Amino acid sequence: MARIIGALATSHIPAIGGAIAKGLEEDPYWKPFFDGFGPARDWIRREKPDVAIVFYNDHGLNFFLDKMPTFAVGAAPEYRNDDEGWGIPTLPPFKGAPDLSWAIINHLVDREFDIVTCQEMLVDHAFTLPIKLFWPEGGGPLTVPVCINTVQFPLPSAKRCVALGRAVGEAVAAWAGDKKVVMIGSGGLSHQLDGQRAGFINKPFDLKFMQSMIDEPEWAAQYSIHELVEKTGTQGIELLNWLAARAAAPGPVHKVHSNYHIPISNTAAGMLALEAA
């Protein structure tokens, strides 16, 4: 049977990809961010997860504002990256895990989630950067993309994203594949890129949210979407991906490591690695 070994979470700012491509990990501006990944990478090398389920949000590469599904799950043998216009080099395709994808899709439908099933799927920096950050030498795991709309209102509630994560975790636990599975939440933390609050960061909320992921994983689900936007900024709502990933790794967890650094490209950059107890 498949075993869920934990959850990882990280910010996914496009500038991170540019820094990696230019070899700027030791640059004083970037070093505090990249140094935070060392213990998580050590844990990954030790545990060797076979599959990563990535909860993320698309930025227009695969879905655009005229067609924005609330939830979409990839069911392809591979997922291609493509040029987003950021000047980040395009990466080789990421291998899929179609058998697990279909197990998740069928279970979500049984749990009354109306999802979009994608047998072809482009993946942008929100998907590629976590894989590159946690597996910097390459050789990453098989992948299953789970895309959550955090872009075009109406957005799914935090409670609904927690329920989605739980259902994904149930599907993985029931899957007959003999694999180690890690959940990844991609996005956030607090930031707003436009409007009167451009540059907004809420450090106290971010730190409370990161702590809640360890010992009170449904804490943020008490807030409505509009309340979360008020507390985190328009793009900070990407924390929905963290919530879903944590909910998909049920039960108590131990913190392997965390890192919080501000600002990176006007964004509160967080990283969290949790091991299933």
Read off the tokens for 241.
Answer: 């991906």
Q: Which of 12, 107, 125, 261 is catalytic?
A: 125
- Average pLDDT estimate for 5-31: 95
What amino acid is encoded at 138 in this protein? G
**Residue among 191, 226, 254, 261 flagged as catalytic:** 191
Q: Is 257 a catalytic residue?
A: no
Q: Choose among 179, 188, 215: nearest CA to 104.
A: 179
pLDDT of 83 reads: 84
pLDDT at residue 168 is higher than 90 = yes
Q: Is 183 exposed, middle or buried (0-12, 13-18, 19+ CB in 10 A)?
A: buried
- HEC string of the chain? CCEEEEEEEECCCHHHHHHHHCCCCCCCCCHHHHHHHHHHHHHHHHHCCCEEEEEECCCCCCCECCECCCEEEECCCEEEECCCCCCCCCCCCEEECHHHHHHHHHHHHHCCCCCEEECCCEECHHHHHHHHHHCCCCCCCEEEEEEECCCCCCCCCHHHHHHHHHHHHHHHHHCCCCCEEEEEEECCCCCCCCCCCCCCCCHHHHHHHHHHHHHCCCHHHHCCHHHHHHHHCCHHHHHHHHHHHHHHCCCCEEEEEEEEEEEECCEEEEEEEEEEC
pLDDT of residue 85: 82
Per-residue confidence (pLDDT) for residue 229, from 0 to 100: 96
Is 90 exceeded by the pLDDT of residue 88?
Answer: no
Active site residue 191: yes
Domain 3-276, what fold? Protocatechuate 4,5-dioxygenase; Chain B (3.40.830)
The CA R_g of the chain, rounded to the nearest whole Å, is 17
- The mean pLDDT of 141-151, rounded to a whole number, is 97
User: Comparing C-alpha atoms, which of 160, 162, 121 is closest to residue 143?
Assistant: 121
Q: What backbone phi and psi angles, to 5 degrees, belong to 26?
A: -95, 0
Tell whether the model's pLDDT for residue 8 goes beyond 90.
yes
pTM given for the model: 0.96
Average pLDDT, rounded, for the chain: 95
| pLDDT level of residue 68 (50, 70, 90 thresholds) | very high
Structural domain boundaries of the chain? 3-276
Task: Check residue 12 and give its pLDDT.
Answer: 94
